[in-house]
Amino acid sequence: MDTVKVGLLGFGTVGTGVVRNLQINRELLQQRLHRDLVLTRIATRDVNRDRGVELEPGVLTSDIDEVIANPEIDIVIELIGGDEPAKSYILKAIANGKHIVTANKALMAVHGQEIIAAADQQGVSVMFEAAVAGGIPIISAIKENLCSNKFSSVLGILNGTCNFILTKMSQEGSDFAPVLQEAQDLGYAEADPTFDIEGVDTAHKIALLAALCFGTSVDFDKIYTEGISKVSAIDIQFAEQMGYTVKLLAIGKNHDDQIEVRVHPTMIPKTYQLAQINGVFNAVRLIGDFAGPTLLYGSGAGMDATASAVMGDVMAVSRDLTTGGKPRVPILGYNADAIRNLPIMEMGEVVSHYYLRFTTADQTSVLAKISGCLGNHDISIQSMLQPEVREINSVSIVIMTHEAKEADINAALAEIEQLDVVLQPTCLIRVENAPL
Ligand code: NDP
Ligand code: HSE
């Protein structure tokens, strides 16, 4: 049987999953491809560590050039992660005519344009399905099955580690630190887990999805990014009492002359489908002008689910190779000359409902003072909660607002924090009440 030769860079969590898939499903892959996928070389730093999989002698190497400059290899899978040296290795492999499959969202979100330009010039593919939402085939859904749609929004839970932590905090009352450690032990977290918990990984993913959905470059540095490290157990409890769940949401909306792209903890009604997405699972909701809303759901991280996405790309490239070698679908799903440069909406312009928790002195007329400041900025109150729980000398007041502009909220909060009855900075969580 004819072969396609594959080289792997990085033999960690996902790399090991890819090797397992190639071994366990070898016959199935042959049946679906009509060719044999042969793993020719794996380059990794430590060639002595046991990864729990058997390899043919001579496959493992610490010399990167045995993969990226190997004339036998057709497809290079990059699973090292991060900017450098992954970027240089990919660019060298492209220069050597290799097709690329990567799970590296950090690299593609920030340096994607340079990599895609190099690949287009060489006429090779760059595939990155595994970079967004683990095993969910979201990128091929946008680029292929739903490509006749103009998308007005893409929104979702895109980080398995954060969803795992928030689920355990809300359902089991767990503390943050041990659950993060559990997510790391399960292979869900990034090499630097602050990328997960501070929302950076989610921002990388929504940057890619916004580019793919709206056909625009996305300036990663302009994405408002807030993670879950400041979400407290008390806010999760109050959310619960008010009928909401807290999720780390990535939100992308197309306003035609600009795009809205933001990442932050968000309260959503418990009755929404996205509120039921728990643990390491992710979900992405697209709204297309013909398909309407589509929700894709599946494992957002982990060895096997991510390997499934990587191998889907390897199979797609291998099929292109079988039919002549030219990539069938543009890398971002649009012809290069059709990609725009839309700006990202300023956060102050964003309109949302808001959950505000004030810590105040336990005395009369506090509420009147706070609501007065909100009124000064045309912010109206939708509901209010004054929980029984009292700290010594302080109380919490929770207010849910109607829709308001973020700039007005910020101005009102600046005024409120000048009040002598307000004892601590206000806790703010955005609320998504539009049907999800
Ligand atoms: P790991 O840290 O488990 O694996 C990284 C691998 O890269 C290790 O085997 C390491 O080598 C190797 N490596 C690091 N630096 C070099 C180098 N300079 N030269 C050669 N090899 C090197 O990461 P993951 O497998 O978890 O992630 C890989 C990629 O997949 C990342 O981009 C990540 O964001 C992405 N991803 C991960 C998911 C997950 O669930 N884990 C899900 C979706 C995407 P050694 O072991 O020899 O030290
Ligand atoms: N660290 C990422 C997550 C891996 O937890 O979602 C999958 O991209």
Listed residues 338, 362, 395: the one ending a domain? 338
Chain mean pLDDT for the chain? 96
* Mean pLDDT within 359-385: 95
pLDDT of residue 389: 62
Contact 153, 287 (CB under 8 A): yes
Residues 119, 210 within the same domain: no
* Mean pLDDT within 387-393: 71
Listed residues 338, 365, 387: the one ending a domain? 338
147 within domain boundaries = no
Contact 296, 140 (CB under 8 A): no
Residues 123, 38 within the same domain: yes
How does pLDDT run across 161-212, given as a tens digit for each residue?
A: 999 999 999 999 999 999 999 999 999 999 999 999 999 999 999 999 999 9
140 within domain boundaries = no
- Ligand 1 centroid from CA 387, angstroms: 46
Residues 238, 159 within the same domain: yes
At a CB cut-off of 8 Å and minimum separation 6, what does 33 contact?
A: 4, 315, 318, 319, 322
pLDDT of residue 325: 77
Residues 291, 157 within the same domain: yes
CATH number reported for the structural domain that contains residue 70 in this entry: 3.40.50.720
pLDDT of residue 428: 98
CATH number reported for the structural domain that contains residue 255 in this entry: 3.30.360.10
For residue 254, give both structure tokens.
Answer: 């197309």
pLDDT of residue 206: 98
Residues 162, 200 within the same domain: yes
pLDDT of residue 326: 85
CATH number reported for the structural domain that contains residue 364 in this entry: 3.30.70.260
How does pLDDT run across 291-338, given as a tens digit for each residue?
A: 999 999 999 999 999 999 999 999 999 999 999 878 999 999 999 999
- Ligand 2 centroid from CA 394, angstroms: 39
Give the closest residue to 255 by CA, choosing from 120, 174, 346.
Answer: 346
* Mean pLDDT within 58-70: 98
436 within domain boundaries = no
Q: Which atom of ligand 1 is nearest to the CA of 80?
A: 7
Q: 390: pLDDT confidence band, cut at 50, 70 and 90?
A: low
Residues 157, 286 within the same domain: yes
Ligand 1 close to Cβ of residue 45 (< 6 A): yes
- Ligand 1 centroid from CA 204, angstroms: 17
* Mean pLDDT within 27-51: 97
pLDDT at 340 over 80: yes
Listed residues 234, 267, 298: the one ending a domain? 298
How does pLDDT run across 212-271, given as a tens digit for each residue?
A: 999 999 999 999 999 999 999 999 999 999 999 999 999 999 999 999 999 999 999 999
pLDDT of residue 1: 79
Residues 71, 156 within the same domain: no
142 within domain boundaries = no
Q: From CA 74, how far away is CA 69, in angstroms rounded? A: 10
pLDDT of residue 321: 94
pLDDT at 430 over 70: yes
For residue 436, give both structure tokens.
Answer: 């999800």
Ligand 1 close to Cβ of residue 202 (< 6 A): no
Residues 313, 282 within the same domain: no
Q: From CA 373, how far away is CA 418, in angstroms rounded? A: 10
Mark whether 205 is an active-site residue: yes
For residue 243, give both structure tokens.
Answer: 């009928």
**Protein residue whose Cα sits closest to atom 18 of ligand 1:** 85
* Mean pLDDT within 340-368: 96
Q: Which atom of ligand 2 is nearest to the CA of 164?
A: 5
Number of domains the chain contains:
3
176 within domain boundaries = yes
Q: 392: pLDDT confidence band, cut at 50, 70 and 90?
A: confident
pLDDT of residue 386: 87
Residues 161, 235 within the same domain: yes
- Print the SS3 string covering the chain: CCEEEEEEECCCHHHHHHHHHHHHCHHHHHHHHCCEEEEEEEECCCCCCCCCCCCCCCCEECCCHHHHCCCCCCEEEECCCCCCCHHHHHHHHHHCCCEEEECCHHHHHHHHHHHHHHHHHHCCCEECHHHCCCCCCHHHHHHHHCCCCCEEEEEEECCHHHHHHHHHHHHHCCCHHHHHHHHHHCCCCCCCCHHHHCCHHHHHHHHHHHHHHHCECCCHHHCEECCCCCCCHHHHHHHHHCCEEEEEEEEEEECCCCEEEEEEEEEEECCCHHHHCCCCEEEEEEEECCCEEEEEEEECCCHHHHHHHHHHHHHHHHHHHHCCCCCCCCCCCCCHHHCECCCECCHHHCEEEEEEEEEEECCCCHHHHHHHHHHHCCCCEEEEECCCCEECCEEEEEEEECCEEHHHHHHHHHHHCCCCCECCCCEEEEECCCCC
Residues 240, 171 within the same domain: yes
Residues 188, 289 within the same domain: yes
Residues 156, 265 within the same domain: yes
Q: From CA 147, how far away is CA 354, in angstroms rounded? A: 34
138 within domain boundaries = no
pLDDT at 422 over 70: yes
Domain housing 35: 3-127+303-338
Find the residues whose C-beta lies inside 6 A of ligand 2. Answer: 134, 159-161, 188-190, 196, 201, 300-301
286 within domain boundaries = yes
Ligand 1 close to Cβ of residue 193 (< 6 A): no
